[in-house]
Homo-oligomer: A and B are copies of this chain.
């Protein structure tokens, strides 16, 4: 419901496929890849093509309903949360985690050095807390 209304508000024709993709982004904060979205939605919409997922995500990005995150070496990732925040990717488990910005909000500017800014991405890479703990444990042997 919510996803459909959201699309209409943004001026996007709410097809079954587009609603499904938008809903997936709103209910899964995992920064999924095209493939992950496609595989997940394939269960409920068996005819859904990857092309349509690509098309839809491009459309959503253009209308500001989603953000394309360029953090992953091999795949584009998408985020339905369009509020200012950063992202962290663990090079061990590949998960992408949100990084709230306490004092970095001033980075999300509309202009710098005379350049007009349309989007900002703050990307971190490293080892996440979970993987670090796991590594420390296995090392103890």
| Chain A residues bordering chain B, tally (CB within 8 A) | 31
Q: How far is the CA of A122 from the CA of B132 in the complex (A)?
A: 24
Interface SS majority for chain A: strand
Is there an interface contact between B91 and A113, defined as CB atoms closer than 8 Å?
no
* A104: Cβ under 8 A from any B Cβ: yes
Question: Nearest Cβ in chain B — how far from A60, in angstroms?
Answer: 16
Residues of A within 8 A of B (CB): 70-71, 73, 88, 90-91, 97, 99, 103-104, 106-107, 112-129, 132
The listed residue (B112, B114, B121, B125) touching A123 by CB distance below 8 A is B121
Tell me the minimal C-beta distance from A62 to chain B in angstroms. Answer: 12
Q: What 4 pairs across the A-B complex have the smallest Cβ distances?
A: A114-B129, A118-B126, A117-B126, A121-B123
